[in-house]
Chain A
């Protein structure tokens, strides 16, 4: 519906309206960033204008108090490892399901698809009990196993749709050459799955990085906190200490905003692909 239209006066009006809306969308960021650099007194008396002197100490204090390096590392470790695990087990399962349509595999696939409608909150209570029983409680590896279980349905579904489009002949020629099922998968199929793997990993990254409730229930030790968990407890401790709290917020949103700006084309394409199929 777009393209090859001339830039008319009407288009200019639309452009101005869109830019004004865009600025409105950015106002909250302006408030947070500007006030994170003010002294507490200045922030209370005048929250709208630019800071008179930049208070970088807000940032160094927030960095130290919320143990930002530890928290950032935890978030990174959890997101990266959970992502790799989900992508690998989902790609393997989806490949097997497409190529071996046994009754069991078909049933499992239907279960996964059906499970996509289960809200997390409707199973979180017994999940905590299961996690305690099998030793997944209060540990990062345990949390990663939880993400594997919750991530599998959508990820298998996306891989499944993609594997179906790969012609069988490519693998057959490999197995004629004597490659095992594992060799065929890792050396031939997996590289072909790259486009959908990018989509799966980006969707899961945004979800896991920002997830609050699951780690809130599973992780107890302060040393294991992720960015959302640390932000939450920081706000609990420093209610109304807005100079510190806002600096902590800016620290908390910076990594994911950088990630988004670097990967935005892939992320937006991935969301389109994921939503159309899911």
Chain B
């Protein structure tokens, strides 16, 4: 049985929960539910008539939209390359900075610095480096790497975005890895060394298993950030040349706000949400199952 609550209790509930509940419902829940509905319609964002067309949008996307498929494939390849490189670099930086270095704190600041600047501005910074800086370095040094047509074709566009993403994100994950490495118990490491374990064995058999919780977090964040990548893509390549470096997020944006096919755009957005949710769930399951305690 529920007790009758006095008016003041209801008012308290309204004052404390109300603002968060209303703004969250209005900004997140309603658009989320509306999006599900619109994905089954031919809504064009302008005219008042919205017709229900069943699975029409999904059929169109899956069987008749090579651009979407290409952006899906591009985003998947980008995610794999960027997630691996970012985490490997971040982990190496964390290992370096957990040594008793004299310049440890300034170095931590430097590695973290790109992360506080937004992806859009970073993309523009690197556009200059790729288009003007690299050729100039190439002329001075004659290293072929710098003389590639950076951002001018599909391959250099792809790796250009990967490089900037890694540069931007490594410092963030480094901070998480450092926090985890500091908590690895020293006696376990000493015991392993006394038992004659090689440095590689200590790293892969002891340190890595013990910091798996950080790996879970970093992989989760890296995977979802790479799949959501939009700003860097827009400011570095705008998806070009010829849509060869167009991410999923950019494809959804273009479909809705440039082609005015809002129904189709929301259907893509729904597929996008489901894909990200499935991939990150699988990843968290796998890495969590490998977490151990010292």
Contacts and interface: CB of A to CB of B under 8 A. Distances in A.
Interface of A: 1-3, 5-7, 11, 14-15, 17-19, 21-22, 25-29, 31-32, 35, 43-44, 46-48, 88-90, 92-93, 95-97, 100, 102, 105, 108, 111-112, 115, 117-127, 129-130, 134, 145-146, 148-150, 152-153, 156, 181-182, 185, 206, 209-213, 217, 227-228, 231-232, 235, 242, 245-246, 249, 252-253, 256-257, 259-261, 264, 267-268, 271-272, 275-276, 278
A19 B207 CA distance: 24
Contacts of A26: 110, 113
Given A22-B111, A123-B35, A209-B118, A31 B128 contact: yes
B91 interface: no
Contacts of A272: 175-176, 179
B273 A122 contact: yes
Contact of B184 (A1, A6, A21, A256): A1
A106 B77 CA distance: 39
A212 B121 CA distance: 10
Contact of B35 (A6, A122, A209): A122
A207 B126 CA distance: 21
Interface in B104-140: 106-114, 116-121, 124-126, 128-129, 132-133, 136-137, 140
A100 B23 CA distance: 21
Query: What size tier do the contact residues of chain B reach?
Result: 35 or more
A135 to B, nearest CB: 11
A43 B132 contact: yes
Given A25-B113, A31-B129, A14 B35 contact: no
Contacts of B117: 210, 253, 256-257
Contacts of B101: 11, 14-15, 18
Contacts of A119: 224, 227-228, 249, 272-273, 276
29 contacts: A2-B100, A3-B100, A14-B96, A14-B101, A21-B111, A22-B103, A48-B140, A89-B19, A90-B20, A92-B20, A93-B20, A96-B12, A100-B13, A119-B228, A124-B31, A124-B269, A125-B256, A126-B266, A145-B27, A149-B24, A153-B28, A213-B231, A227-B121, A228-B118, A245-B124, A252-B121, A256-B117, A259-B116, A272-B179
